[in-house]
Chains A and B, each alone.
Chain A
Amino acid sequence: MLSTVPLNTSRRRVFGSVFSPASLEARPPLASSFDYDQAALASFQSTASFATLKDSQTGSLYTAPSQEVSDTSLDRETWDHAWAAATAFLSIPDFGFAPIFEARGTDGSETLKEWNRLTPPSKETADALTYLTAAAHYSDSSRDGTGSRDLFSWYGEEIRRHFLTNLRGGLYEVLHGSEKGGLLRTIVDCLQLAFRIYLAPIRHYLLPLVSASDQGRIFTQLQRGFHTVVSYSLPWLQISPLLAQELAQDALIILGIDTLIEESNEDEDEDQDEMEMDREYSVSYCDWKQANAETRARIMTEHENNEVIMARDRLLAFLNGLQLVGLGGDKAQKVFASVMNIMMTEFIRAAYTGEWETPTSVLPHLRHWVENVFARLAVQVLNIIHTQPSNQPPGTLDVSFADVEKWQEIAVSRLGALRTSELFEVIVEWPASTGAIEDLKHFTTHPSARAYVTQTFITILNQRLLHPGASTVEILQLYISIIRAFHLLDPKGVLLDRIARPIRRYLRDREDTVKVIVSGLLAEPPTGDASGLPSSHDILVELSTELSKAHQLSLQSNTSELDWDDANWMPDPIDAASDYRKSKSADVIDSLISLFDSKETFVKELQTLLAGRLLQKRDNFDQEISVLELLKVRFGDAALQACQVMLRDISDSRRVDHSIRHDQGLSKPPSRPHPKRPTPRPNHPDLHAKILSRFFWPEIQDQEFNVPEEISSLQTRYAEGFESLKQSRKLTWRNGLGQVTVELELGDRSFSDEVTTWQATIIHAFNSGSAESEEPVSKSVSDLSSELQMTSVLVRSACLFWVSKRILIETTRDTFRVLEYLPTDEEVAEDPTNTVGDGGMAGDAGDAAAAAEAAAAAAAKETAEAAAMEKMNLYWQFILGMLTNQGAMNLQKIVMMLKIVVPGGFPFSNEELREFLAGMVTKGKLEIISGGSYKLVH
């Protein structure tokens, strides 16, 4: 079955024609160098095993020759002998995985020797190899070359067999071992070594025997076989994260990201040496910016430091190995792409976070980096882990310039994303962060990018700004910055328009918005002295400067839309709504004032604030006048008429005051220009008045009380003078308003200060006992209250004020005494009576001041509460009308109606109203009927 004689003879003839007959004819038909039986046995075994291994191959092996019985005359036996020798030589010893794992670090020559891979074949083996390849060559030329391929495919099978039996288990263990660092490197090293072991004999002894054209083909074939078995044994799902890790590790260094991160950490530990070392090669934005243009171009292409070069070499060598063992190619490219994607984001984050200076050169720096560092690495790596080496002529880059440009665009949008996420901080830092906005400008060229910016920013705003924790001043401050920043970002104001909406909506809901804006407008410019004003911390001083500045600006550029010669004209952005009209959005004041539907709210607040300021004793009101003039430009004269009248009242009063005092003989030169209240020179108080036209002034909360007699007589005379000057007009004195300059002569000291009228009245009451009597005057709060017709809260507040000035002391609760002589410290300590009352406050001026403040606040609160109660009475009328005419209603409905019908809105919460209504139910004016509705009791 195995051999037929005619076949053998014909084969031998061919065999003889190729090899010198001497070498073969001289020995027995079967290999003579070793024992015949053994060899025959070995040959039989190996072919048999081969036959079982691969049926199709054996089939072709044995059927093919039989088909060509007629035209081939190869000796079957010779071929069998040659086959046996060759396979014996080529077969790989089953040493297992351990030796390869041990030797992975070496250059492999030792192992190759150990594994008997470098031993040159013996003469017979060499002959056998030559014979087999030649046979292959022969049949190749005659037919299809199955013979030679047989040997190589057998070897391919052998590799596979060996790999699966010896290496696969080991690799599997390594892959699932606990040690993760550099795991892939180990694996690749092992595989590389295995690959060399497998292919060494082929390369050294077999390939030279075949023609050059076949060499490449055969080698590729074997390589592919190896790659297949490797990728079969090592599931890619497990390899790819490892590969990504390896790539990321080196890419971090090569792309310079690690130094950036270090640098940002270095701020703490100031590692000077390393800084110097790094100076040569750095991708740091700061360094780059400081360099001049020429250095800039070179800085990233040259002067790589050692670490980078090492990392680069290491990575490229690793990738070479990876490609060699078949783990490169398409899949590795994908992993590489995703790693580079992360790297780019990482770099941008590390390099540019917080770099907001203007003028910015972030963008050229980024493009430069992408081109010279990022793309360079990409080119180098992709050159190694290519997919089809033979497809392209050598020297063609896998990366085109279009790709690089695309990467640059991607990088720019990444930068945009970074800046967008930083936008809130950028705005907070404004105007120190102009550069960041300039960067962002390059990003917001596309409608979707613009939408991204606005949406992200609005979300951030809602989270960080528009909540009760932020004060109105802060919000307004930020809004101003936003207006300015977005004006720079998008001069057409479309983005600002979108951003501003939620802010404006929120500000409208805040009660104190108007107040803050108006007080900001009226605030002294920062250069002026801020005495008597609250610190600029809670006032938007900026607004007053802005007001005058914006006015000048509006004069300059009023005709922007119809300016045909405007060389800087730009069309409206693509995402502008069709009816979008550019507002003067850069105008901060305008944006703030337009927050409110009507000017009325604004004007009303302005009036109240203005009233407070005008009633202060000051020499001039230039600031108020100028602010008012500027506001008139915006609002028109009519809206601000009341304010105008108020200002005129003040300036008129000065003249009127002068002439009345002159007429009535009240003036005594040299008197100060116009304090409203007397300066109590002994027995000659001095009275000045401000005459207000009641109709134009906002309601002023007033405390009614009797002024001292000296003053009231002066008031009468003054009023007479006024009535003679202005017929048919009358003066009504508002005793609660005004300032008094008080000078007090005490036993051991004198005191002089400006105080309020009621404080002055109180201290004047203590004066009445005359200065000569030895015993200091002592009065109780209730006495004073009835004597002066002043509310006791106010009396107490005024007394505590004087206590804080150490003029009075509280002897027992609610009883005060003049402190003619200051006690020495010992006396205070010894005298327990001083500390009666409110827990020692009389002794300590600081505490007393605090107490006085608290009392003043209490007095103010009482006034406010009275006002609120009065208001509630008004609302009661509304509720009464509502329930009379509309029948029973529940709380929600009442609140809703009140909100609609009460001018200026209903300021109380549902709870407060419920309480109030409950009070009315108790009083029997209301009843609650089914369903919780309130009904009037008839």
Chain B
Amino acid sequence: MDYTMEDTQNSAPDAIEATKLNTSGQRTETQSVTKRLQAELMQLMLSPSPGISAFPDADGNLLSWTATITGPTETPYENLNLKLSFSFPNSYPYSAPTVLFKTPIYHPNVDFSGRICLDILKDKWSAVYNVQTVLLSLQSLLGEPNNASPLNAQAAELWDNNQEEFKRQVLARHRDLDDE
């Protein structure tokens, strides 16, 4: 009992020291992430791509963004506004951001809680990707789902067999978030 007490006492300064080091390390890391994200935002603003848009959340935290994809023409998602959330880890861009669909979407590679199955967001992530490329990939994913590894098997099946029904399902599931 006593020994353990002593132990914690002895170790306490070290622990503090360690956290100190960590926080300072973290801070510089956060700064570099912030810088990178700021640059990405600037690039998005300077050369906007049609149909996609993204912006940091209103809480002033650059590590979480909201993005909007307008459904590409000649797909079941035509003219639908789809919202996504981006959450960047401190190790960004060396690890992938967490991307979720906020708008309910009916899609073979997206499950009902908005999780996306896309290789570049998982094991194929690389530091050269950025918000814009991710959004462009997702935009194209809307028109060309990867039915080989579906999260939503029913959707994959409908996509292959019954486009009409698929479109109906998409519209039934879609709900605009803008009005909230």
**A residues adjacent to B (C-beta < 8 A):** 874, 877-878, 880-882, 884-887, 889, 893, 896-897, 900-901, 903
CB contact under 8 A between A886 and B60, given known A877-B46, A881-B53: no
A896 / chain B contacts, CB cutoff of 8 Å: 60
Q: Whole-angstrom distance between the alpha carbons of A896 and B56 in the complex?
A: 12
Q: Whole-angstrom distance between the alpha carbons of A903 and B45 in the complex?
A: 12
B180 within 8 A of A: yes
Say whether B60 contacts A884, CB under 8 Å: no
Which among B41, B46, B67 is the interface contact of A901 at CB below 8 angstroms? Answer: B41
- Name the residue in A881, A887, A896, A901 with the highest tally of chain B Cβ atoms < 10 Å from its Cβ: A881
B66 / chain A contacts, CB cutoff of 8 Å: 885-886
Q: Whole-angstrom distance between the alpha carbons of A886 and B67 in the complex?
A: 9
Which among B41, B53, B56, B62 is the interface contact of A884 at CB below 8 angstroms? Answer: B53
Say whether A897 contacts B58, CB under 8 Å: yes
B178 / chain A contacts, CB cutoff of 8 Å: 887
B48 / chain A contacts, CB cutoff of 8 Å: 877, 880-881
CB distance from B16 to the nearest CB of A (A): 15
CB contact under 8 A between A885 and B45, given known A897-B60, A901-B56, A901-B62: no
B151 within 8 A of A: no
B38 within 8 A of A: yes
Say whether B38 contacts A901, CB under 8 Å: yes
CB distance from B87 to the nearest CB of A (A): 14
Q: Whole-angstrom distance between the alpha carbons of A174 and B147 in the complex?
A: 117
CB contact under 8 A between A885 and B42, given known A877-B48, A896-B60, A897-B60: no
A880 / chain B contacts, CB cutoff of 8 Å: 48, 53
CB contact under 8 A between A900 and B55, given known A884-B68, A885-B68: no
Closest to B65 in A: A885
Q: A885-B67, A893-B58, A897-B56 are in contact. List 20 more A-B contacts (CB 8 A).
A: A874-B46, A877-B45, A878-B45, A881-B45, A881-B48, A881-B53, A881-B54, A885-B54, A885-B66, A885-B68, A885-B83, A886-B58, A887-B180, A889-B58, A896-B60, A897-B60, A900-B56, A900-B60, A901-B38, A901-B55
Q: Whole-angstrom distance between the alpha carbons of A893 and B58 in the complex?
A: 8
Which among B46, B53, B62, B180 is the interface contact of A885 at CB below 8 angstroms? Answer: B53
**Residues in B75-108 with C-beta less than 8 Å from chain A:** 83
Say whether B55 contacts A885, CB under 8 Å: yes
A884 / chain B contacts, CB cutoff of 8 Å: 53, 55, 68
A886 / chain B contacts, CB cutoff of 8 Å: 55, 57-58, 66
Closest to A894 in B: B58
- Name the residue in B53, B54, B62 with the highest tally of chain A Cβ atoms < 10 Å from its Cβ: B53
- Name the residue in A878, A882, A896, A901 with the highest tally of chain B Cβ atoms < 10 Å from its Cβ: A901
Q: Whole-angstrom distance between the alpha carbons of A877 and B62 in the complex?
A: 17
16 residue pairs A–B, Cβ–Cβ below 8 Å: A877-B46, A877-B48, A880-B53, A881-B41, A884-B55, A885-B66, A885-B67, A886-B55, A886-B66, A893-B58, A897-B56, A897-B60, A900-B62, A901-B55, A901-B56, A901-B62
Say whether A881 contacts B46, CB under 8 Å: no
Q: Whole-angstrom distance between the alpha carbons of A878 and B41 in the complex?
A: 9
Q: What band does the interface of chain B fall in when counting residues whose beta carbon is under 8 Å from A?
A: 20 to 34
The 5 closest A-B pairs by CB, nearest first: A877-B45, A881-B55, A885-B66, A885-B55, A884-B53
Q: Whole-angstrom distance between the alpha carbons of A880 and B48 in the complex?
A: 10
Which among A874, A882, A893, A903 is the interface contact of B55 at CB below 8 angstroms? Answer: A882
CB distance from B37 to the nearest CB of A (A): 9
CB distance from A264 to the nearest CB of B (A): 59
Q: Whole-angstrom distance between the alpha carbons of A893 and B55 in the complex?
A: 14
Closest to B42 in A: A903
A903 / chain B contacts, CB cutoff of 8 Å: 38, 42
Say whether B60 contacts A881, CB under 8 Å: no
Q: Whole-angstrom distance between the alpha carbons of A812 and B55 in the complex?
A: 55
Q: Whole-angstrom distance between the alpha carbons of A885 and B67 in the complex?
A: 6
B153 within 8 A of A: no
Q: Whole-angstrom distance between the alpha carbons of A896 and B41 in the complex?
A: 16
Contact with A along B14-54 (1 / 0, CB 8 A): 00000000000000000000000010011011101000011
A878 / chain B contacts, CB cutoff of 8 Å: 45, 55
A874 / chain B contacts, CB cutoff of 8 Å: 45-46
A885 / chain B contacts, CB cutoff of 8 Å: 53-55, 65-68, 83
Q: Whole-angstrom distance between the alpha carbons of A757 and B119 in the complex?
A: 57
Closest to B85 in A: A885
Closest to B45 in A: A877
Closest to A876 in B: B45
B60 / chain A contacts, CB cutoff of 8 Å: 896-897, 900
Closest to A889 in B: B58
Q: Whole-angstrom distance between the alpha carbons of A880 and B55 in the complex?
A: 9
CB distance from B83 to the nearest CB of A (A): 7
**Residues in B141-180 with C-beta less than 8 Å from chain A:** 178, 180
Closest to B41 in A: A901
Q: Whole-angstrom distance between the alpha carbons of A383 and B144 in the complex?
A: 111
Q: Whole-angstrom distance between the alpha carbons of A885 and B46 in the complex?
A: 17
Closest to A935 in B: B178
Closest to B66 in A: A885
A887 / chain B contacts, CB cutoff of 8 Å: 178, 180
A893 / chain B contacts, CB cutoff of 8 Å: 58
- Name the residue in B38, B55, B67, B178 with the highest tally of chain A Cβ atoms < 10 Å from its Cβ: B55
CB distance from A933 to the nearest CB of B (A): 12
CB distance from A725 to the nearest CB of B (A): 34
Which among B38, B44, B180 is the interface contact of A881 at CB below 8 angstroms? Answer: B44
CB distance from B178 to the nearest CB of A (A): 6
Q: Whole-angstrom distance between the alpha carbons of A808 and B78 in the complex?
A: 64
- Name the residue in A880, A882, A885 with the highest tally of chain B Cβ atoms < 10 Å from its Cβ: A885
CB distance from A878 to the nearest CB of B (A): 5
Q: Whole-angstrom distance between the alpha carbons of A889 and B53 in the complex?
A: 17
B65 / chain A contacts, CB cutoff of 8 Å: 885
Q: Whole-angstrom distance between the alpha carbons of A818 and B68 in the complex?
A: 62
B62 / chain A contacts, CB cutoff of 8 Å: 900-901
